[in-house]
Structure 1
Amino acid sequence: MFDFLSSIGGAIMTPLYYFVSGIILGWHWLFEQIGMDPDAGWTWVLSIVGLTITIRAMLIPLFVKQINSSRNMQLIQPQLQELRKKYGHDRERFAQEQMKLFQETGTNPFSSCMPLLLQMPIFFALFRVIDQAARKGAEGAKGFLSGEQAESLANAQWLGGKIADTFLSSEHIETKIIAMVMVIAMCATQFFTQKQLMAKNMPPEALNGPFAQQQKILLYVLPVVFAVSGVAFPLGVLVYWTTSNLWTMGQQFWVIRNNPAPGTPAFKAKQDRDRAKGKLVQDDPIAEAKAEAEEQKAKRQQPKKKTRDQRRKTTGPQPKPTKPAKEDPDE
């Protein structure tokens, strides 16, 4: 049974080994052409960074869908709360109405996890490529890696530590220090990326719903998970994941700054920037309605000046003053 499952896993992962190793070797060849030492640690580290950039660039369309779906999920929180109040006693009806709302608004509650889920096979493939090279040398070459390249990867040193070593497996203090620093950096970038989303791009009413509770759980659970498992990752894998987190942080910052969800602190900040630049804010219909109401109110409070003829037309002709009648002296 174990052999059967192992063969299935190998059939699934083998194409990924070729995919991951092919991208790494492509970047490695590029750095070698500009004069870098093919066996140097920096050459292999930058090749892994190149792998990260390539994968994340391929995931940009999916990331855009994730942002739009997350944004919709935040905006429909008041409607979800109304459905929960109305159908909270009937779970089946509530599920039907909730699914109907998702379909009407084009919201997919699972899309926020898709980039992470799609990266995990790449993550494990990279882990196996580096780990097998470290354990078996030339015999552990996977994908497009030759035996010589696997030996080079296994022995490459970066900042005093071997790229293929982990915090647990290495006996060198330099490798342990670098690994611990990378684990902290990986967890910190994961935390601040999630914190950035919650603090800047979630409306106040969405901070109290189930979606917000899920985000809060992920905010603290994911860094802990990565911290516990990170001590078993090779340095090269830690480089990949930290670079991916930095990419996510920068990409998310750009999206939140330029296309924030209405009613959020980021949206208010964008409105302030647009007003300072003299631009009209047209993204928030609620804000537009308020601005129009204020404008109409101001017009009512400050009527236009009218000419004398206009005032006469408005108020009508004024009656002429009558002289008091003279008293009759005979009376």
Structure 2
Amino acid sequence: MLDFVYYPVSAVLLLWHKVFGFAFGPDNGITWALAVVFLVFTIRLVLLKPMIRQIRTQRVLAKLQPEIKALQKKYAGDRNRQAVELQKLQKEHGFSPLLGCLPILVQMPVFLGLLHVLQSFNRTGTGFGKLGMSPELNAHTANYLFSAADVQSFLHARLFGAPISAAITSPANLLDAFSQFGGVPTTLSIAAVAIPLMLAASLFTHLNARASMARQNAETLANPQTALMNKLALWVFPIGALIGGPFLMIAVLIYWVSNNLWTYVQQHLVFERLDAEESVRRIE
């Protein structure tokens, strides 16, 4: 159903696995971890230009607030006319509400695609979405663009002793699939890798929210809806990383940390550049 997502995700992941496989070996956990990290970086790099345009249009919209309020006041009794005039104003200044949703609209299917492709390296579980394969059949069945040999390489891979497709709460029948590929890992060995990643994901989620709040003006901060979202981003979402982390495979936690790390660095670099551009325009 979502093959149009799964195949491109597996293609990018496979590409980076081949690249880092030359340096560290195809079965190395670092190779697979870096493949996930650079999958994130690839997607975020593709989204960089629309993201910068999104920030620029948001800044334009902030400057248009007085005009927007004037329109709302002028056409307070005519909501249809108010909507038409508001759309006209946004169009004149190149603002598109859809553009603000573009990064998340692209990243969400990529995240779901990565989750599915990674889960499909180990199809021995039962239940919703599981195929219930035997460990032998699973190890000799391709996974989208990954060959059976790649599947076995993934099962061999360990990151500080833990398979990157395992989660703290992985049931015993899923962990048994690793018996012929380095032995069945313990929950403790998985937790030793997953918990630091969970803490990092939580920390970066909080820091990104704090950095975003620092750039909001007083009027925006006073808005009740914005205030609620800020509280969710500052505290609820980071706590969610700690609560949901035990149920996520290590590779997904690597994705989460990498994505948040990119966002943290990107926010500072991009806003510094845009602030410098505005300073130059004021001088001119």
TM-score by length of 1: 0.67
User: Are 1:33 and 2:22 counterparts?
Assistant: yes
Map of 2:62 onto structure 1: 74
**Count of aligned residue pairs for this structure pair:** 256
Query: Quick one: distance in 2 between partners of 1:112 and 1:217?
Result: 21
Map of 1:245 onto structure 2: 260
Query: Quick one: distance in 2 between partners of 1:194 and 1:132?
Result: 33
Query: Quick one: distance in 2 between partners of 1:40 and 1:146?
Result: 17
User: Are 1:283 and 2:272 counterparts?
Assistant: no
Residue 167 of structure 1 aligns to a residue whose secondary structure is coil
Residue 152 of structure 2 aligns to a residue whose secondary structure is helix
Map of 2:233 onto structure 1: 219
Moved beyond 6 Å, runs of 4+: none
Map of 1:154 onto structure 2: 155
Map of 1:263 onto structure 2: none
Matches for 1:101-250 after TM superposition, within 5 Å: 101-136=89-124, 137-138=138-139, 141-169=142-170, 172-199=187-214, 201-209=215-223, 212-213=226-227, 215-216=229-230, 219-220=233-234, 222-224=237-239, 226-250=241-265
Cα RMSD after superposing both structures: 2.9
Query: Quick one: distance in 2 between partners of 1:213 and 1:94?
Result: 26
Q: Deviations over 1:105-140 (max 9, x none)?
A: 222234233212201111111111111212343356
Map of 1:49 onto structure 2: 37
Per the TM alignment, residue 228 of structure 1 is displaced from its structure 2 partner at its CA by 4.6
Do the aligned residues in 1 keep the contact of 2:47 with 2:103 (CA within 8 Å)? yes
The amino acid of 1:39's aligned partner reads D
Do the aligned residues in 1 keep the contact of 2:140 with 2:149 (CA within 8 Å)? no
Matches for 1:249-328 after TM superposition, within 5 Å: 249-260=264-275, 281-284=279-282
Q: Deviations over 1:23-82 (max 9, x none)?
A: 222222222223x12111111101111211211111122212222122223222333334
Residue 162 of structure 1 aligns to a residue whose secondary structure is coil
Per the TM alignment, residue 146 of structure 1 is displaced from its structure 2 partner at its CA by 1.0
Per the TM alignment, residue 247 of structure 1 is displaced from its structure 2 partner at its CA by 0.9
Per the TM alignment, residue 227 of structure 1 is displaced from its structure 2 partner at its CA by 4.8
Q: Deviations over 1:175-214 (max 9, x none)?
A: 1243233223223322322321220x33333333477447
Query: Quick one: distance in 2 between partners of 1:82 and 1:174?
Result: 61
Q: CA, structure 1 residues 120+176, in 2 after alignment: closer, same or farther (shift >3 Å)? A: same
1:23 to 4, 9, 12: 12
The amino acid of 1:283's aligned partner reads R
Query: Quick one: distance in 1 between partners of 2:213 and 2:66?
Result: 17
Q: CA, structure 1 residues 85+176, in 2 after alignment: closer, same or farther (shift >3 Å)? A: farther
Q: CA, structure 1 residues 125+141, in 2 after alignment: closer, same or farther (shift >3 Å)? A: farther
Give ranges in structure 1 of 5+ residues lacking alignment.
1-8, 261-266, 272-280, 289-331
Do the aligned residues in 2 keep the contact of 1:16 with 1:121 (CA within 8 Å)? yes
- Larger Rg belongs to: 1
Query: Quick one: distance in 2 between partners of 1:232 and 1:215?
Result: 25
**Larger displacement relative to structure 2 (188-197 or 39-48):** 188-197
Do the aligned residues in 1 keep the contact of 2:161 with 2:190 (CA within 8 Å)? yes
Do the aligned residues in 2 keep the contact of 1:193 with 1:245 (CA within 8 Å)? yes
Query: Quick one: distance in 2 between partners of 1:224 and 1:113?
Result: 24
TM-score by length of 2: 0.77
Q: CA, structure 1 residues 99+16, in 2 after alignment: closer, same or farther (shift >3 Å)? A: same
Query: Quick one: distance in 2 between partners of 1:229 and 1:185?
Result: 13
Query: Quick one: distance in 1 between partners of 2:201 and 2:77?
Result: 43
Q: Deviations over 1:286-315 (max 9, x none)?
A: xx9xxxxxxxxxxxxxxxxxxxxxxxxxxx
Query: Quick one: distance in 2 between partners of 1:77 and 1:139?
Result: 60
